[in-house]
Amino acid sequence: MSYTIYLSGEIHTNWRQQIKQGILDNDLDIEVLEPITDHDSSDHVGINILGPEENNFWKDHKAAKINALRTNSYISRSDIVIIRFGDKYKQWNAAFDAGIAFGLGVPTIIMHDESLTHPLKEVDANAYAVTETPAQVIEILKYIS
Amino acid sequence: MSYTIYLSGEIHTNWRQQIKQGILDNDLDIEVLEPITDHDSSDHVGINILGPEENNFWKDHKAAKINALRTNSYISRSDIVIIRFGDKYKQWNAAFDAGIAFGLGVPTIIMHDESLTHPLKEVDANAYAVTETPAQVIEILKYIS
Amino acid sequence: MSYTIYLSGEIHTNWRQQIKQGILDNDLDIEVLEPITDHDSSDHVGINILGPEENNFWKDHKAAKINALRTNSYISRSDIVIIRFGDKYKQWNAAFDAGIAFGLGVPTIIMHDESLTHPLKEVDANAYAVTETPAQVIEILKYIS
Amino acid sequence: MSYTIYLSGEIHTNWRQQIKQGILDNDLDIEVLEPITDHDSSDHVGINILGPEENNFWKDHKAAKINALRTNSYISRSDIVIIRFGDKYKQWNAAFDAGIAFGLGVPTIIMHDESLTHPLKEVDANAYAVTETPAQVIEILKYIS
Amino acid sequence: MSYTIYLSGEIHTNWRQQIKQGILDNDLDIEVLEPITDHDSSDHVGINILGPEENNFWKDHKAAKINALRTNSYISRSDIVIIRFGDKYKQWNAAFDAGIAFGLGVPTIIMHDESLTHPLKEVDANAYAVTETPAQVIEILKYIS
Amino acid sequence: MSYTIYLSGEIHTNWRQQIKQGILDNDLDIEVLEPITDHDSSDHVGINILGPEENNFWKDHKAAKINALRTNSYISRSDIVIIRFGDKYKQWNAAFDAGIAFGLGVPTIIMHDESLTHPLKEVDANAYAVTETPAQVIEILKYIS
Amino acid sequence: MSYTIYLSGEIHTNWRQQIKQGILDNDLDIEVLEPITDHDSSDHVGINILGPEENNFWKDHKAAKINALRTNSYISRSDIVIIRFGDKYKQWNAAFDAGIAFGLGVPTIIMHDESLTHPLKEVDANAYAVTETPAQVIEILKYIS
Amino acid sequence: MSYTIYLSGEIHTNWRQQIKQGILDNDLDIEVLEPITDHDSSDHVGINILGPEENNFWKDHKAAKINALRTNSYISRSDIVIIRFGDKYKQWNAAFDAGIAFGLGVPTIIMHDESLTHPLKEVDANAYAVTETPAQVIEILKYIS
């Protein structure tokens, strides 16, 4: 039986690629959804399409709303949301996605290094699995498929 | 007409006290809900009540689940969730609360310094108001009451 | 048995006052919710509280979001939303409120002159009653109380 | 990943055609739903199928209900509702559709000239993007696809 | 712990009075909601308040919609809907109410003579109890209080 | 765009066949769902599969529950429920289906002779169209397709 | 801020009494709901009120449905469901209640001896806290109040 | 018209195989979902993938959460959940699944020997059919297809 998963969070390592490769290698019937992971494109999409803003707040606002069209739609049609937290940047959008998934009743799998356990305790506590590597996520997906 | 509000996020300044004082001063019919804001008590509640854990992950897990009993219940019965982000710590739980509120359809008011605009753009974009001070929150509560 | 009603729409005649008086005169157990009906205050609340905007779009945006905190909360806790359309102005917010109520499953009573029947046909078609006068609304509220 | 969109609102310019052409030109995996845009057919469908009415109110009512069978079904199965407001007519049905989408939790993209910003502020404030041209809508659809 | 119950269906015997008396006699903390049970008033309310109709269909329509304002509101706020079927008339509105309650997830208790078992089998099959007398309903209410 | 419809109610005329033929003749993209319309099979399915009952109430109960597995599943996955009332029998299950559809938010089209207008007024009042013939239903389906 | 809790499960020790006493002793603003815990009354309520059955299956069925009127209503209006499993009997109704709570999104606290950990792993895994004593439950309730 | 069914509960007899064979033999358009029925694999999946635990509680917890990813997803996308109770073991997870299905509004068919009628009365009372053999389940599936 197939699953749809959404890969949220950290965009600076190739963890998404590893999960997609693992799905291919194991021939799993899983559809993978992702956000726009091109940082620059994502930051400027609002002014690129809808016109310039003098105030950075509105520049960010317009970009975030367009990205939310994709993000919220993908989270709500997923069976599982997988969210990786890295060791850099604030990544509030990743925690925000975890909250949206919880509010909508979509299960999450969280991925992060052990060093982030304490600040992520609320996010982890509502997850169905807390992993450290893409390989573990693939093992879970294999097991439940 | 009365509102119920939940005050989530930063616990190191007295912003909650200021909002509660403003509600009193203006005689607003608003019920205020809050998380446990005693940091130590909140971190240790799991092992304090349910017994020790060797692994910090499970110590955090048990605490986070007990806190979630309160937090999730309060968010879901609120008309508005007000979330303040400070300039220290990761505060992923604050962004997580914002996401839960959005997933449940509860409107949010966000409060933070202008310097945090960019990393909070997704959280701000789904808010009904982005404020910098408790005084602004009180003005909004007065206006809608 | 009590009802909560929300009075949306036209703000230039005293129809809200007439309905409230009728509720008092008939001693009905009905709680009345209303939007901010002071036009100027409603238009400027965004910049008044959250600071100036050069662009009128964002001035309007900030005001509309703060008003929505009240409006959406009131619609969703009402048993019936009563919406009056006048013969002036575009009043898209009134039709928008009617749609929100329909989307949330809250019944509506619409009030307008017969001359507006054709352009309001979609809004009327989803109403539980289409009235022309506050007196008719009061009769309905008396009947169902 | 595919989207389903519904094109609501103004029926006197060819904006729907432009969006459909843009989807084709960019080979986007997007299903397009539309209301009946033949004005005459839409106005008379009630009496045409269900028999004549002496009173215009009921003529309009029967037509609006049959159109609502299509409209409401399409809005509720869409990922995004795109609504254009023109500079003529009352277009309360367009604002009503925007409200239904909001009440059902379906994101909207609004399209209108800058001159309509003020009367549409409530509708715009709940949109994920406010555009002026079909080309902008196509750019958004390309970006999120 | 209190319950709210709605008494739907047959209006020609005093079964509602018996249940209300039983609640009083047993000092149960139960709020009782009822439809308008004055047949004439209920049939004519549409034209009485909203003006005459030549066509009986619309006369009935306007009355039924106003009654639905009360009925649907009461069903949706009830913990239990109790519906009695008599041996006369078509009573489709009673079966309709049973369906609405089921669709909304509100439990039902059905009351009717044994002779009606076969035609009511679908309605009975979704009930939490099928009774023959008001005394049995009171016993159930006492037991669960 | 396709629709799924469920044909509920009267089983003694060939109205379902006429609608299905009309869908074929007009090449409409509509999936048709139906209850078991073999009266005998439907009445005895409970004891046929699950074993005999001395008490007719339980015989009917077991049959009605098995039929409800199909009926409720089909109603909840339909875009439109079409229900015909004939001039014989109590047909409470038809009115019950109309109520379930309303409670679940699924639009209905009702079909019956004019003579049944008064007892069906509550059912009709919540319908999107009240028809007399299969040909009218087909016209509506053609129009909205 | 007040909570409503429902005490489900084992009925042979005085754990409910201990929790209620703890709530009183600590002056907590918590409303306590309970099932009928008189075993005999609960088993015979169906035939006592609705008449005898030859078949034990239907005797049990009628009793279980009447108890469900209370149980389901109480679970759905609770903020937290607390369920104790003892070391005797099958107690499938307790696990069933835990599932209903989970399906409805109501958080649970589970109480049982360590010896039951393995067979209760699915039930525990969805709980917000797994306790062994009423004293621990009271500590949690104190902490979140 | 197709159904999706989930086969929950007892894993020591070949009842799932019989149902799947019956579906094949009768050429029914039914998709069958199942839990992981390899007992050992299911018990150890948590530590196998996510690393060892000293405490059996957490070993069980991690396994149960990963299994829940599959179980809860499958229950929520099923039209019918079929649950068999055997005469050995506590099988609280089977009763838990029945509760989840009920809480989510998914109909159940229960299968067990007559000897288990009394302890399963609450679970049975909310089922659409209570069966003793896979052959009966197949008859029901044939009938409703």
DSSP E115: G
| Cβ-contact C20, C6 below 8 angstroms | no
Residues 6+ apart with CB under 8 A from H119: G89, G90, G91, G92, G93
- Residue in H63, H89, H96 closest to G123 by CB: H96
pLDDT of residue H54: 94
Q: Give the helix, strand, coil percentages of chain E, each rounded to 5.
A: 50, 15, 30
Owner of token pair 């089998």: E121
Residue contact G125–H96, C-beta within 8 A:
no
pLDDT of residue A1: 60
DSSP assignment of chain C equals --EEEEEEE--SSSHHHHHHHHHHHTT--EEEE-----HHHHHHHHHHHH---SSHHHHHHHHHHHHHHHHHHHHHT-SEEEEE--SSS--HHHHHHHHHHHHHT--EEEE--GGGTTTTHHHHHT-SEEESSHHHHHHHHHHH-
Phi, psi of B131 (to 5 degrees): -115, 170
Residue contact H49–A107, C-beta within 8 A:
no
Instruction: Please compute the mean of the pLDDT values over residues H58-81 and round it to a whole number.
Output: 98
pLDDT of residue H39: 87
* Displacement of CA B144 from its chain's centroid (Å): 20
Q: How far is CA H41 from CA C123, H37, H46, in A?
A: 58, 8, 9
pLDDT of residue G145: 95
Q: Give the tens place of pLDDT for each residue, E127-145.
A: 999 999 999 999 999 999 9
Q: Which chains touch F (3 or more CB pairs under 8 A)?
A: D, E, G, H
Residue contact D58–E58, C-beta within 8 A:
yes
The chain G residues in contact with chain E (CB within 8 A) are 31, 33, 36, 41, 45, 48-50, 62, 65-70, 72-74
pLDDT of residue D1: 61
Q: How far is CA E40 from CA D134, E16, E69, F114, in A?
A: 56, 18, 18, 21
pLDDT of residue B39: 87
For A29, the token pair is: 């019937």
Q: Give the tens place of pLDDT for each residue, F9-43.
A: 999 999 999 999 999 999 999 999 999 998 899 99
Mean pLDDT by groups of 10 residues along chain C of 145 residues: 93 97 98 93 96 96 98 97 95 98 98 97 98 98 97
Residue contact B64–A100, C-beta within 8 A:
no
| C touches E, CB cut-off 8 Å, minimum 3 pairs | yes
pLDDT of residue C39: 87
Residue contact A1–H50, C-beta within 8 A:
no
**ipTM of this complex:** 0.97
C-alpha A85/C-alpha F17 separation (Å) is 58
- Report CA Rg, chain B: 16
pLDDT of residue D99: 98
Q: Give the tens place of pLDDT for each residue, A43-94.
A: 999 999 999 999 999 999 999 999 999 999 999 999 999 999 999 999 999 9
Distance from CA of A12 to the nearest CA of H (A): 24
pLDDT of residue H98: 98
Q: What share of chain G has pLDDT > 90, as a percent?
A: 97
| Cβ-contact F68, E126 below 8 angstroms | yes
| D39 vs D28 pLDDT, higher one | D28
pLDDT of residue F1: 60
Distance from CA of C4 to the nearest CA of B (A): 11
pLDDT of residue B87: 92
Q: Give the tens place of pLDDT for each residue, A102-115.
A: 999 999 999 999 99
Residue contact G103–H101, C-beta within 8 A:
yes
3-state SS assignment for residue F110:
strand
- Residue in C107, C130, C131 closest to E72 by CB: C107
One-letter amino acid for residue B94 of the chain: A
DSSP assignment of C93-128 equals HHHHHHHHHHHHT--EEEE--GGGTTTTHHHHHT-S
Per-residue exposure over D39-66, b if at least 16 CB sit within 10 Å of its own CB, e if not: eeebbebbeebbeebeeebbbbbbbbbb
One-letter amino acid for residue F16 of the chain: R
Q: Give the tens place of pLDDT for each residue, C84-113.
A: 999 999 999 999 999 999 999 999 999 999
Residue B119 has pLDDT above 90, yes or no: yes
Instruction: Please compute the mean of the pLDDT values over residues G90-101 and round it to a whole number.
Output: 97
CB pairs under 8 A between F and H: 43
Residue H13 has pLDDT above 90, yes or no: yes
First to last CA, chain E: 6
Residue H1 has pLDDT above 70, yes or no: no
- Quote the pTM value: 0.97
Chain C positions touching A54 (Cβ under 8 A) are 54-55
pLDDT of residue A86: 97
Site from E36, E71, E83, E100 to mutate, F interface, most F CB atoms within 10 angstroms: E100
Round the average pLDDT of chain B to a whole number and report it: 97
Chain A positions touching C55 (Cβ under 8 A) are 53-54, 58
